Structure 1
Amino acid sequence: MLKPGKKYNLEYYLETVDAIVKMGTHFLGIKDMAGTLKPAAAKILIGAIRERYPQLPIHVHTHDSAGTGVTTYVACANAGADIVDCAVNSMSGLTSQPSLSAFLAALDGEAGVTEDAARTLDSYWAEMRLLYSCFEADLKGPDPEVYNHEIPGGQLTNLLFQAQQVGLGEQWLETKKAYEAANMLLGDIVKVTPTSKVVGDLAQFMV
């Protein structure tokens, strides 16, 4: 959002919020599907919305592809967000949502949810995830390059699998760069199904 020349800047988002509020919304949902909302931008964006609309409930959703999700959520909370989407530890991070327990620890008791309660939930899902481990993408760590290619979290694992299936597994880095180029060729579009699929297919074709 803070990149010079970016069309999705603070003014764009505030105008969008104004239009949504004018429609009569009860909640404002901010969905950062690629996980590109950096902490500094979150502080400015949420702060500006909260200042303009003091009573509007703000709900933020992000993916932790870059590994900075918890820091972004803390910035959102401090700037006035009411709700943030987290995942239990065993299901969190990477292309999923930031860790609930890590977020609670970062807020140090100010969230109204105990870390013991979060651990109780996690003990169940940790076992459940083992049953589905054979279907997982082989992602090992965060990918801060998402700030450049902007591949949504839900698509990142799918695109990696697709690339491997069409023989581009060893050209994954090139595919991510091509995704960035394909996005700009298509007008720097909002990338949510089906538009993200269009960008991904074009990127693979280009490679």
Structure 2
Amino acid sequence: HYQAAITFTSHSDPTLFNVRWVADIAKEFGKLGAHSICIKDMAGIASPALMKAWVSEIKDAVPELPVVIHAHYTTGFSPITYLMAIEAGASAVDCGISTLSGRSGHPAMEVFNQVLADLGYDLGWDPVKALEGMKETADVYREYHPRYEFCEMKMAGSVDYRVFTQGIPGGQISIMRNELVKNKLGHLFDKVIEQIQRVRTQAGGVALVTPTSEHVARQAIVNAMNGQSETTDKSPLWPGYSEMLRGVMGKPPGEMQVDLQLRALREWTDATVKKLQVTDDVKNAVSQKVNQIVDYLWSLSFPIQEKQILDELVQRIRQCRELNGRDSFIANQKYQFDERIKQFEKHVAFCF
């Protein structure tokens, strides 16, 4: 079974990752032979109305493909989001057994077994008998829970709404918190959380899902350890974050911070030259030449980068026009799509 995943993410510019973009991606997955599509909301930041819009667009684009929803509980949205998605046509939702649910996990399986049965949905099994099996499974973990209590996510309450604005995946936030505490850096947790989106934007607004979410978080930790609230020219670059800046993980939807991108390329070439099995004099000479070549190639790449940016803007203009004026959650946002289209068109006209 080939299940294609679309990562749910948000951005300060709502024209990025818009619902028409989602529909276009779903169509491409259909052409590639996908058997189903999973919307992966790894941070639990999808509001119920927006998830309903995503599911509706996907079902309109590829009605023959089942849609599965995967979301975490961290923001508190996911139970309502699941119900709205099911109403819009989703075929399945990912849940966790009750003793492993909530917080940064998934909504409880027992709850949805009961709720969906009460609403008249055919689950394909006897809800009463299924609940008995779920209780047995939950009791197994309850018995062994004390052995693993040390690695539980410590939260002030079962919901952390900061994740809604920062978009940290549920599976990552608990691990990161425990690692910081283990290394006696727990006091930096809030400072790391607060700069996730800034560090992400500097790398082109990548979707926060493995492995990019890990690299963004690691860079935020490095920044916090050095007393910085974002990545600066004084911040050491985490290796994975450097790879993102160098394009090793593909082209992000937004624009990267140019000075950081060029710095990552230079540092990588310098490190590569240092590995040469030659004398230091030769290394120094080669390093200078290589940096000159990097700067030259960088200048030559600008037209290519600009063409990619223009292609992306033209695509988003089309998507925005299709969205604008429609009776949907997206079109009714206070963000003015007309104004954004004008900005895009001015940029495209200026470049030509």
Give me the TM-score of the superposition, normalised by structure 1.
Answer: 0.89
Q: How many residues align?
A: 207
- Residues in 2 aligned to 1:72 and 1:161: alpha-carbon distance in whole angstroms: 28
Match of 2:200 among 180, 183, 205: 183
| Percentage of pairs with the same residue | 26
Q: Structure 1 8/175 Cα, relative in aligned 2: closer, same or farther at 3 Å?
A: same
- Residues in 2 aligned to 1:103 and 1:66: alpha-carbon distance in whole angstroms: 18
Matches within 5 A, 1:78-97: 78-97=87-106
- Matched residue, 1:123: 139
Match of 1:57 among 63, 66, 69: 66
> What amino acid does structure 2 have at the position aligned with 1:5?
D
Structure 2 runs not aligned, ≥5 long: 1-8, 225-352
> What amino acid does structure 1 have at the position aligned with 2:89?
G
Whether the aligned pair in 2 keeps the contact of 1:32 and 1:61 (CA below 8 Å) is yes
Match of 2:85 among 76, 90, 109: 76
Match of 1:172 among 185, 189, 212: 189
Q: Which deviates more from structure 2 when the two are superposed, residues 85-94 or residues 108-117?
A: 108-117
Bigger CA radius of gyration = 2
Q: Structure 1 205/3 Cα, relative in aligned 2: closer, same or farther at 3 Å?
A: closer
Whether the aligned pair in 2 keeps the contact of 1:178 and 1:204 (CA below 8 Å) is no
> What amino acid does structure 1 have at the position aligned with 2:143?
E
SS at match of 2:39: strand
- Residues in 2 aligned to 1:42 and 1:11: alpha-carbon distance in whole angstroms: 13
> What amino acid does structure 1 have at the position aligned with 2:209?
V
Q: Structure 1 3/135 Cα, relative in aligned 2: closer, same or farther at 3 Å?
A: closer
- Matched residue, 1:102: 111
Q: Which deviates more from structure 2 when the two are superposed, residues 1-10 or residues 35-44?
A: 1-10
Q: Structure 1 164/134 Cα, relative in aligned 2: closer, same or farther at 3 Å?
A: closer
SS at match of 1:132: helix
- Matched residue, 2:284: none
TM-superposed deviation, 1:4: 6.5
Match of 1:159 among 158, 176, 179: 176
Q: Which deviates more from structure 2 when the two are superposed, residues 186-195 or residues 114-123?
A: 114-123
Whether the aligned pair in 2 keeps the contact of 1:27 and 1:57 (CA below 8 Å) is yes
Q: Does 1:197 pair with 2:214?
A: yes
Matches within 5 A, 1:138-157: 138-139=154-155, 140-157=157-174
- Residues in 1 aligned to 2:147 and 2:183: alpha-carbon distance in whole angstroms: 27
TM-superposed deviation, 1:167: 4.2
Structure 1 runs not aligned, ≥5 long: none
Q: Structure 1 154/163 Cα, relative in aligned 2: closer, same or farther at 3 Å?
A: same
Deviations 1:87-118 (A, max 9, x none): 11111011111111222343325342525333
Q: Which deviates more from structure 2 when the two are superposed, residues 82-91 or residues 121-130?
A: 121-130
Q: CA RMSD in A?
A: 2.1
- Matched residue, 1:28: 37
Deviations 1:119-138 (A, max 9, x none): 34323332243432233232
